[in-house]
Amino acid sequence: MRVYITGHRGQLGRALLRRLPDAAGGDLPELDITNPASIEAALAEAQPDVVFHCAAYTDVDGAARDPALAYRINGLGTQNVAIAAARVGAALVHISSNEVFDGRKGAPYDEFDHTNPINPYARSKHAAEWYTLHLCPRFYLVRTAWISAPGGRNFIHRILQLADERGSLRVVTDEVANPTFADDLAGGLITLAATGRYGLYHLTNAGHVSRYDYARKILELSGRGHVPVEPILLADYPRASTPPPFGALANTTAAALGISLRPWQEALADFLAAG
């Protein structure tokens, strides 16, 4: 299976490359997915069987400040990737987000729940889903949440940094989703891409948790359990974007194929033990 990875220097892209060392890939500055000619030339040269589309604008608050930029990268960039993949006959594995849901269901979302994005980042990812669904005949549209990887900018590293710098934390209790670890997700995506069972999937580490309880577990497992954490609400934490309050995902369709990721607590313990 010949593989091409967009965004191969990002958290998920690096995890895929570790498992697929012979894969081709591109990222800025040599690959610009907002330029149709750039991605078309890259895929024409690589002639992949599968494209893992990991390149994205993931600064959620930055997207709220500049929605046009988020749409240009996430929406129109995915349009370009989907068209280019279709032209070379490749299947597209597109990575989407739990944020396409509004978070008001109060229970984990399955793959066919109604989407209703409530912030500019979410709307840009929703546009990317539309392009994937309509422009590439063979696709795996995979929604995930709260990705962490070694060396990346993510919630785990931020919690550890702030705990060490400030000695105490304030973390929201009313934002809930699934912690997902890039290496586990990469393994699930590779297995999924080999099935030929195209469609819509949710793939996260098993279980969901609030930001507050997640932070407490991070501190506990990293030997910082003594650091006090004050529970606050989203309304008490002003930010540019508004996340879905209950954005947990349920893995239904991948689990039916025997593809599930281990509990997030187990993955977190290994993540922290590896340093």
Whether 233 maps to a domain, the answer reads no
pLDDT band at residue 238, thresholds of 50, 70 and 90? confident
Helix (H) or strand (E) holding 24: strand 24-26
What's the confidence (pLDDT) of residue 122? Answer: 97
CATH number at residue 70: 3.40.50.720
How many CB atoms are closer than 10 A to CB 105? 17
**For the segment 129-141, what is each residue's pLDDT rounded down to a tens digit?**
999 999 999 999 9
Beta bridge partners of residue 242, listed in sequence order? none
Beta bridge partners of residue 99, listed in sequence order? none
pLDDT band at residue 176, thresholds of 50, 70 and 90? very high
Mean pLDDT of 231-245: 93
Distance CA 49, CA 39 (A): 15
Whether 112 maps to a domain, the answer reads yes
Q: Any idea which residues carry the catalytic annotation? A: 121
Question: How far, CA to CA in Å, does 72 sit from each of 38, 50, 56, 184, 198?
Answer: 15, 23, 10, 29, 26
Distance CA 139, CA 113 (A): 19
Whether 228 maps to a domain, the answer reads no
Amino acid symbol at 229 = V
Distance CA 138, CA 142 (A): 13
CB 159 within 8 A of CB 271: no
Residue 100 has pLDDT above 90, yes or no: yes
Using DSSP's 3-state secondary structure scheme, residue 128 falls into: helix
Whether 48 maps to a domain, the answer reads yes
What's the confidence (pLDDT) of residue 237? Answer: 87
What's the confidence (pLDDT) of residue 215? Answer: 98
Helix (H) or strand (E) holding 139: strand 139-144
Whether 157 maps to a domain, the answer reads no
What's the confidence (pLDDT) of residue 68? Answer: 98
Whether 236 maps to a domain, the answer reads no
Q: Which pair of tokens denotes residue 156?
A: 């785990």
Peptide bond into 243 cis (omega under 30): no
Closest to 33 in 3D by CA, of 84, 68, 67: 84
Whether 172 maps to a domain, the answer reads no
Residue 123 has pLDDT above 80, yes or no: yes
Question: How far, CA to CA in Å, does 198 sit from each of 4, 258, 271?
Answer: 18, 15, 31
**For the segment 67-88, what is each residue's pLDDT rounded down to a tens digit?**
999 999 999 999 999 999 999 9
Distance CA 209, CA 264 (A): 9
Mean pLDDT of 114-119: 97
What's the confidence (pLDDT) of residue 153? Answer: 81
CB 167 within 8 A of CB 234: no
Mean pLDDT of 171-196: 97
Give the residue numbers spanning the domain of 261. Answer: 3-151+180-205+247-267
- The pTM is what? 0.95
Whether 35 maps to a domain, the answer reads yes
The CA-to-CA distance between both ends of the chain, in Å, stands at 33
Mean pLDDT of 252-258: 98
Number of domains in the chain: 1
Residue 216 has pLDDT above 80, yes or no: yes
